[in-house]
Every structure is written in structure tokens, then in C-alpha cells.
Amino acid sequence: MLALMCTVIFIAAAAYCGLALAMTMRGRGAQIAALLRDYRALQDHRTFSVRLTAAAPLGTVGACKPRRVARRAVRRVEAGRCDLQQRAAA
């Protein structure tokens, strides 16, 4: 008898949860549809971007090389340090 009562309570709780879920989905249907539309639009934009970048001719891709920055000459300070260390040791 206890098992039958627990089963009935469990079924009633599941039905209540299903009803609450259905009411929530019904009330928020427009928002859920908007989210799905945004998701599909972003997915389409992503595939369009991939097609756009994949279809670029190789000549234009090679022309867009990063600019090389001129390196400044660095003076060696180690020679001066050696002289000071040798003077201190003498």
C-alpha cells in the first residue's frame, strides 16, 4: 500500500512539473523563438565569414604581410662592466 501511495505521489509531482514547464514555455515562447533566430543568424554569419575568407585568392593573402619593425642598435655595456670589475679587483 505504501509503494502504491509513493507511486501516485511521484506521478502527481511529475505531472505538476510537466504542467509548470508547459506554462513557462507557452509564456516565454516569443523569447525562445527570438533566441533560436539569433542563434541561427549567428551560425549563418559564421559560415558566411568562413566562405569569404576561404575564397580569397592567394595573391591578396600574400600581399598582406606584417610590417617589419626596424631594430635599434644596442650598445654593449658588458665591456664597461668588465673594466669596473677588474678595477675593483686590482
Tell me if 35 is assigned to some domain: yes
Tell me if 58 is assigned to some domain: no
- Whether the pTM exceeds 0.85: the reply is no
Closest CA to 33 of 23, 41, 44, 21: 41
- What pLDDT is recorded for position 83? 61
Domain span at residue 47 reads 29-53
Kindly state the DSSP code that residue 26 receives in the 8-state scheme: H
Residue 5 or 54, more confident:
5
- pLDDT band at 63; cut points 50, 70, 90: low
- Give the count of domains, the chain: 1
Tell me if 75 is assigned to some domain: no
Query: Using one digit for the tens of pLDDT, what is the confidence trace for 41-59?
Result: 999 888 888 877 776 565 5
Assess contact for 13 and 20: CB atoms under 8 A. no
Tell me if 84 is assigned to some domain: no
